[in-house]
Amino acid sequence: MQSLDIASLSAGYGAGTLTPAHVLDTVYARIDQQGERPVWITLVAKADALAQLAAAPKGKLWGIPFAVKDNIDVAGLPTTAGCPDFAYVPSRSAHVVEALQAEGAILIGKTNLDQFATGLVGTRSPYGICSSVFSADHISGGSSAGSAVAVAAGLVSFSLGTDTAGSGRVPAAFNNIVGLKPSKGLLSNRGLVPACRSLDCISIFATTCADALAVLAVTGRPDPEDAFSRSAPQATQTAAWPDGFRFGVPAGRLEFFGDDQAESLFHRAVERLRAIGGMPVEIDFTPFSQCAQLLYSGPWVAERLAAIEDFATARPDCLHEVVRGIILSAKGLSAVDSFKGLYRLAELIRQAEAQWAKMEVLLLPTTGTTYRIDEVLADPVKLNSNLGVYTNFVNLMDLSAIALPAGFRPNGLPFGVTLLGRAFADGKIAALADRLHRALPTATLAATPIPLATTPPIPVDAAAAGTITVAVVGAHLSGQPLHHQLSDRDARLRATCRTAPGYSLYALAKTQPAKPGLVFDGHGAGAIEVEIYEMDAAAFGSFVALIPPPLGIGTVTLADGATVKGFLCESHAIEGATDITRHGGWRAWLASP
């Protein structure tokens, strides 16, 4: 069986053992055998795909077949958003589609979805219900149902979905593929029918983490035409994860909705991540879970109505029954509700900061369980909500995420996990996800017998691999007012320890926020508490640029004799300062009477 992963096709084209025309023959033969519905809403004719190929530039994705969720514009093809009465034909393609075709990728068609991208199940479409490629009785996941199935069934190399509440991750879990949800604004949403415009992310499905990251690298470009576009030049950089990196795991027993097999597979994923060098750290999942509840019980439902208000108000009978109930429920929300929701979100993000200080990446089940199609049709709202427990909070909290396969239940249904990082950690967590995916025994590509090991891993970016260790002593300590300058740069806490003898600590006068000064004078009792952080070299440079005089970065000797870069104070600044050395550290002095 011919694998359609990007790396294999590009290698075959380069070696002359494959041609894009032959690959398109394979793609259309598979589609003919399977049928257009329910995966496709609009299929590009084979002759038109060959015409694309003839005109395609020989860029990084030359000859690579892909699909697009049908709430993303493609010039000349109808955009339905899963609602025939809403359909229109755009004259211009979405920004991401333009970027892909500029690199030579070949569009095969537009895929089925939960109507107006409202759902995590894949059952809310008049174009038919997609099922998992592993079971005709089980849901495919949504709302990016057709996009995920097209990749998992070997019909395209990669596809574009969207992800507001988890729609780019849940279908990945149910089809044994990778779902990369980029940081908000990294991919332009120009040409996307919005669900929640402030939260929407165009997402990427592929069979490997390397392929997903390759697509991200050519689509993650700033777009002045999208008000929510953000620039992050280093977002696709990868870096080595050193032994001892800390990954968060929620304390206590997670909710698997009675799916003991899924729970067992998650625990195995934790052990695999530990085996490749990670150190599990228990975190309080409460702020994340409470944030997840905001998405549909809070004012963000009103944003879904704002996206299609004129159509939904004028033609409510054209909406899918479940989608109509969700979107039109927003008519009861007020501006006051919106502000209350924003205030609550800010509180939960602040609470989550304390948990992020403990970890560099968060490991979660992508979903706690899966369901049969008939179960979802019988109870469409509750079961959909269950699928969002570990996904709904991610865009609200401005996080990056990548879903990856994590094994199979005894009944043959796949299970997946998700790695989450701070905004613009996309490349770094993709590199770790790739290692975790490859640590899975007998990992294969989607629903094929092709081993994952036949594809190349994500290479570590040598420029990003260099790290610098720095000791902080005062306002940058965890829980202190300037700690965000470290967390914003994805700095990783390595240890809490003390300095060697000879250091004195002073509370400096007239600093805002209050700061201490660490001075080596040879007289101090030493044993001053410090936290040791590690960060990328580029991040360290921008961090140092924030340090005001009289503070600076020098070399600090620790109690065990090791030396690190750390905060030191110019000696003239201790005039008029208070000697607090006897307290043994800044936090101890702040807590003293």
* Residue 231: active-site member: no
Q: Are the C-beta atoms of 188 and 226 separated by less than 8 Å?
A: yes
Helix, strand, or coil (residue 498): strand
Q: How far apart are CA 125 and CA 143, in angstroms?
A: 9
Altogether, the residues listed in the chain come to a count of 593
Q: Which amino acid is at 331?
A: K
Question: Residue 282's closest CA among 253, 255, 248, 254?
Answer: 248
- Tell me if 309 sits within 8 A of 179, measured CB to CB: no
Please give the helix or strand (H or E) that residue 460 lies within, else none: none
3, 10, 69, 131: the active-site residue: 69
Q: How far apart are CA 35 and CA 112, in angstroms?
A: 13
From 3, 167, 478, 504, active-site residue: 167
143, 188, 229, 478: the catalytic one is: 143
Contact 439, 272 (CB under 8 A): yes
CA distances from 160 to 8, 94, 215, 419 (A): 20, 11, 10, 19
69 annotated active-site: yes
Give the number of other Cβ atoms within 10 Å of residue 590's Cβ.
Answer: 15
Up-side HSE of residue 393: CA atoms within 13 Å toward CB?
24
Q: State the Cα–Cα distance between residues 574 and 576, nearest whole angstrom.
A: 6
φ, ψ of residue 142 in degrees (nearest 5): -150, -175
Q: Is 565 exposed, middle or buried (0-12, 13-18, 19+ CB in 10 A)?
A: middle
CB 558 within 8 A of CB 471: yes
- Please state the separation of Cα 498 from the chain's center in Å: 36
Residues 385, 393: Cα–Cα separation, whole Å: 12
Q: Kindly report whether the peptide bond that precedes residue 143 is cis, defined as omega within 30 degrees of 0.
A: yes
Partners of 421 in the beta sheet? 400
Among the listed residues 430, 519, 555, 473, the one whose alpha carbon sits nearest the alpha carbon of residue 180? 430
- By CB atoms closer than 10 A (0-12, 13-18, 19+), residue 317 is exposed
CB 185 within 8 A of CB 379: no
Local structure of 3: helix, strand or coil: coil
- Write the burial class of residue 224 (CB in 10 Å: 0-12 exposed, 13-18 middle, 19+ buried): exposed
Q: What is the DSSP letter of 360?
A: S
User: To 5 degrees, how large is the angle CA 461–CA 465–CA 468?
Assistant: 155
Read off the tokens for 501: 């003898």
Residues known to be catalytic: 69, 143, 167
